[in-house]
Amino acid sequence: MTELNRQMRRRLTFAIISHPDSGKTTITEKLLLFGGAIHIAGAVKSGKKVKDSVSDFMEIEKERGISISTSVMGFEYNGRKVNLLDTPGHADFSEDTYRGLSAVDSALLVIDSVKGVEDRTRKLCEVCRMRHTPIATFMNKLDREGKDPMELLDETERELAIGVRPVTWPVGQGRAFKGVYNLVERKLLLFNAGQVERPVDIITIDDLEDPLLEEKVGQSLAKKLRDDVDLISGVYPPFDADEYLSGKATPVFFGSALNNFGVRELLDTLTSLAPHPTPKLSGERIVRPEEEKFTGFIFKIHANMNPKHRDRVAFLRVCSGKFERNATYYHVRSGKPFRTANPTAFMAQDSEIVNEAWPGDIVGIHDTGVFKIGDTLTEGETINFKGIPSFAPQIFRYIVNADPLKEKQYHKGLNQLAEEGVVQIFSKPNQANLRVLGVVGQLQLEVLQYRMEHEYNARCNYRAIDAIIAHWIMSDDLKALKDFVEDQSRKILIDIRGTHIFMSDSPWAFERVKATNPLIRFYSTSEMVEDRDASA
Ligand code: G4P
């Protein structure tokens, strides 16, 4: 096996997806503890305290800015190099999260067993489904009185449109939580609140009729477990690795992250099952990780929060070949060479200069304004990776410069922050000077204003615009598209790639326009959903 193949197969690059408060931060921390990457609890900063205040958000971002290494946490476990990507918890920054998912090969879904499937979970799973990203599921907080496990499975399958395959099963719940039974290995893991080490009480029970079960968990829970297991095996097919790898079904684990229960088993399973880097689709061809030549794309740009240094870090996902420090690569969008001096790798709380990186790795590149999200680096080939789309904004505003003397700063700030993905900028046909901003959440607008002022010394104001829904539009019939754009010109925007966007002021109005314009296709992301399958 070549070095490239060996390194590639060791990589496991994933992200945790969850609704805020489900336990993402707690699990991340436990994974890092077990992976030996951190030694004390409380080292992982949570973004969950951000509510709606821009100053709170900026404070947290500043803290994170100092240690941007928390954006990617790397550690070794079970012979694999694990890269865990952090994604923003706040719903207003969901675009950043969606894009982060383009850089991973699998996802861990965390569901709060008290609340069940929640809003953000649905959206994030939808993004994973579009890309056929394999998902493993952890039902958290079993130490609390939550929903019935059967109901949780049913809800997950129904609401997330993915097959569920329980791998462990809880014995009791809430105060009566005794542990989990591993249905595949036929082992009982007994629960001790707060244990850090691997549970010592692992009992092999091949036959559930074994009286040892009663002895360990009591009569009524033993009976319930037997009944449950009977029921599950009748309803759900056994776990099948291929179904998981193709994103059709998710293995489900139960536990309590806060009590370290079930997390290590989860990590054991992930490191043995989760996929190594998968092929990625580009506009030109499918790029396989084992290809000799290096390719990679930028999926995130992180500003340095220190206003004195306008530098940014661009996060590059290595897709194929070996990435080398000080090599000169081809920056596809500009057609210019780019030399990668001092690339950085991230190991939990630290970052270090790396000399090489392999498919699946995430490298931080010092950026002086060269990169945009979605940019590709190669050894010379023209490749444009797909799957890093913009998502339709839900809030629109006209933006105007509030200080005419600072025209230059205003444009510079606006362009750079748009490149970072803080906001999307659109223009209007025939109105070259008018700019429209699109964001997913209100907080993004405030962050833009704050950062324009503090980092670029520019001020901006917003004016309302009558739109709440937007769709990218396309048509095979170019005349029909041109006519539509002309007829609806008041409601048309143009994105940075020159693609048209149609705004509607209500779902009802949108449906009517759609019905009366059958030649026009409407999309909710900037990339056409159906051609996003990288693994096909
Ligand atoms: P998030 O990153 O997904 O937003 O969630 P986070 O890990 O911050 O967890 C949200 C809350 O749920 C935290 O409590 C955390 O302690 C709690 N939690 C996580 N896992 C479990 C679990 O297995 N059982 C129980 N009972 N609680 C759990 P908090 O009170 O909001 O914060 P904190 O003061 O404890 O940090």
Which atom of ligand 1 sits closest to the CA of residue 89? 4
Atom of ligand 1 nearest to the CA of 259: 23
How confident is residue 466, by pLDDT bands cut at 50, 70 and 90? confident
Q: Which atom of ligand 1 is nearest to the CA of 261?
A: 23
Query: Does the residue 328 lie in any domain?
Result: yes
Question: Is position 404 within any domain?
Answer: yes
Whether 474 is in a domain gets the answer yes
The reply to whether 323 and 250 lie within a common domain is no
- Determine the distance separating the centroid of ligand 1 and the alpha carbon of 97, expressed in angstroms: 20
Give the mean pLDDT of the chain. 84
Query: What percent of the chain clears pLDDT 70, i.e. is strictly above it?
Result: 85
Specify whether 188 is located in the same domain as 48: yes
Are 60 and 163 in the same domain?
yes
Q: Is 44 in the pocket of ligand 1 (CB under 6 A)?
A: no
pTM over 0.75: yes
The reply to whether ligand 1 has any atom less than 6 angstroms from the CB of 526 is no
Q: Are residues 316 and 403 in the same domain?
A: no
Alpha carbon distance 390, 439 (integer Å): 10
Q: Assess contact for 40 and 283: CB atoms under 8 A.
A: no
The answer on pLDDT for 128 being more than 50 is: yes
Q: Tell me if 315 sits within 8 A of 298, measured CB to CB.
A: yes
Q: If you measure from the C-alpha of residue 199 to the centroid of ligand 1, how many angstroms do you get, rounded to a whole number? A: 21
**Ligand 1: distance of its center to the CA of 257 in Å?**
8
Same domain, 54 and 123: yes
Q: Are strands 336-339 and 395-401 parallel, antiparallel or unpaired?
A: unpaired
How do residues 356-410 score in pLDDT, each as one tens digit? 999 999 988 888 888 888 899 999 999 998 876 666 788 899 999 999 899 999 9
Q: Does residue 479 have a pLDDT over 90?
A: yes
Q: Which of 344, 378, 412 is the last residue of a domain?
A: 378
- CATH code, 196: 3.40.50.300
Whether 112 and 17 share a structural domain: yes
The answer to whether 481 and 473 have CB atoms below 8 angstroms apart is: yes
Residue 368 inside a domain? The answer is yes
Residue 80 lies in a domain: no
* Position 419 in a domain: yes
Asked if residue 86 is part of any domain, the answer here is no
Q: What is the mean pLDDT of residues 234-246?
A: 93
Pocket test for ligand 1, best of 46, 258, 266 (most atoms within 8 A of CB): 258
Residue 502, domain CATH: 3.30.70.3280
Token pair in block for residue 282: 């580009």
Is residue 222 domain-shared with residue 167, that is, in the same domain? yes
Cβ–ligand 1 distance for 113 under 6 Å, the answer no
Q: How far is the CA of 115 from the centre of ligand 1 (A)?
A: 13
Domain closes at, from 378, 411, 434: 378
Q: What is the mean pLDDT of residues 189-205?
A: 65
Identify whether residues 359 and 211 lie together within a single domain. Answer: no
Q: For position 93, what pLDDT does the model report?
A: 65
Q: Is 48 in the pocket of ligand 1 (CB under 6 A)?
A: yes
Number of Cβ within 10 Å of residue 245's Cβ equals: 18
Q: Which of 238, 273, 308 is the last residue of a domain?
A: 273
- Return the amino acid letter for 393: P
Could you tell me the distance, in angstroms and rounded to a whole number, from the CA of residue 528 to the centre of ligand 1? 37
The answer to whether residues 46 and 184 belong to one domain is yes
Whether residue 29 is found in the same domain as residue 139: yes
CB atoms within 10 A of CB 314: 24
The verdict on residue 414 lying in a domain is: yes
Ligand 1 in reach of 45 Cβ (< 6 A): no
Ligand 1: residue whose CA is nearest its atom 28 = 258
Instruction: Kindly report, residue by residue over 254-311, the tens digit of the pLDDT.
Output: 999 988 888 888 899 899 999 999 999 898 999 999 999 999 999 888 776 555 566 6
309-346: pLDDT as tens digits: 666 788 899 999 999 988 999 999 999 999 887 777 66
Q: Which residue range(s) make up the domain with 48?
A: 3-73+95-273
Number of domains in the chain: 3
Q: How far does residue 60's CA lie from ligand 1's centre (Å)?
A: 18
The verdict on 257 and 337 lying in the same domain is no
**Do residue 31 and residue 157 come from a single domain?**
yes
Distance from residue 184's CA to the centre of ligand 1 (Å): 29
